[in-house]
Amino acid sequence: MSDTVDPARGPRPAVVALDVGGTFVKWLVADERGVLRQGSVETRAAAGPASAFAVVLDTVDTALSAVPATHRPVGVGVAVPGTVDERRGVCVHSENLGWRDLPVAQRLREHTGLAVGFGHDVRSGATAEARLGAGREVPDQVYVSVGTGLAAALLLDGRMVSSGGYAGEIGHGGALDGAPCVCGGRGCAETVASAAAIARRYTAASGVAVDGARDVLARARAGEDVARRVWDDAVEVLSSLVADLVRVTGVPHVVIGGGLVHAGEDLLGPLRDQVRARLTVHPDPRIVPAALGGTAGSWGAALLGWEASGADLGPIVAAYGDAARRPA
């Protein structure tokens, strides 16, 4: 790859992309061929909503100053968690960041003077999987992210469904009783089937502190009853959600992403079996692991940045595919 400016064409275009999470803001600078620079900073969400947004603005500045002299920034892409209305460019509500009705896209446009693409973290990850990863060339699919939270993204006829930001919030609601949830409800799927819930429920039942869902799975594999029960509960709730999504939409392809997908066949094997058992008239969907891992949100944000800049996405997607699917 040449790092010199072509005198005939000038500096090459680049975008900066931010994947804003409750713990870290991951950023990268990419040109049409791949990632040029990347890094991450702590979100410091506990310091309050204004502080978390100040971190986002600082991180955009950091990323912009990391754009090499051979390139010029043409767009910013940003993906954030919570209830996100892409059409209005507004984060309606983010429990993790404390944001309510924050016009993120407009504020970033004012701050940078650049075109801004704005999206939901799970839908951005789903877009990246659909274009670069485990959902390529499948027009109808569901992406289910199982991590700290639990949410889905629905791609129908190649279009992402958002519905004002509420589509795919499968982690919340639906139950009338059970453990309290961050949303104010009780017994939501997220209180049983998220990676965070698996660790929390194991500790509540056993009195033993664990290092995340991965630790609970290791204990279940070793034959520990409490760990097995907590793991099986999570798979059962997930299978019910996935079967519901398939029954409502008829999608033939389900991509499982988020931190829990690292469990591999310990998650996917029983999930496939139970989804199959719950479906009668529907064909079994293909249930596959996400291909981009923890980088899906960043790749999705980069695509949002390119889209906002007016670039032709075709060649960019073709160039990104191999780099994105390479294991980190």
Q: Which residues bind Zn ion (CB under 5 A)?
A: 172, 181, 183, 185, 188
Residue 171 beta carbon to Zn ion: minimum distance, rounded to whole angstroms? 6
Q: Are 144 and 256 in contact (CB under 8 A)?
A: yes
**Residue 295: is it exposed, middle or buried by C-beta count within 10 angstroms (0-12/13-18/19+)?**
buried
| 34 contacts: CB under 8 Å, gap ≥ 6 | 319, 320, 323
> Of 183 and 319, which CB lies nearer to Zn ion in the complex structure?
183
Q: 273, 281, 271: which is closest to 248 by C-alpha?
A: 281
Residues 6+ positions from 17 with CB-CB distance below 8 Å: 27, 28, 29, 30, 63, 76, 77, 78, 79, 298, 299, 301, 302, 304, 305
CB of 172 to Zn ion, least distance (A): 3
Cβ nearer to Zn ion, comparing 188 with 196: 188
9 to 71, 72, 308, 314: CA distances (angstroms):
11, 12, 21, 20
Kindly state the smallest distance separating residue 22's Cβ from Zn ion, in Å. 15
DSSP structure class, residue 141: E
Nearest approach in angstroms of CB 99 to Zn ion is: 18
Q: Which is nearer to Zn ion, 131 or 172 (CB)?
A: 172
User: What's the min distance (Å) between Cβ of 257 and Zn ion?
Assistant: 20
Burial of residue 99 (CB within 10 Å: 0-12, 13-18, 19+) is buried
Q: Toward Zn ion, which CB reaches closer, 178 or 283?
A: 178
Q: How far is the CB of 44 from Zn ion (least distance, A)?
A: 25
**Minimum distance, C-beta of residue 184 to Zn ion, in the bound complex (Å):** 7
CB nearer to Zn ion: pick between 114 and 197: 197
Instruction: Quote the tokens at residue 304.
Output: 């949002």
Question: Among 152, 80, 145, 143, which Cα is nearest to 116's?
Answer: 80
Joined tokens for residue 9: 């064409």
Q: What is the DSSP string of 227-287?
A: HHHHHHHHHHHHHHHHHHHHHHH--SEEEEESGGGGGTHHHHHHHHHHHHHH-SSSPPPEE
Which is closer to Zn ion, CB of 52 or CB of 188?
188
Closest distance to Zn ion from the beta carbon of 260 (Å) = 17
Give the residue with the Cβ less far from Zn ion, 129 or 190: 190
Residue closer to Zn ion by CB (options 81, 117) is 81
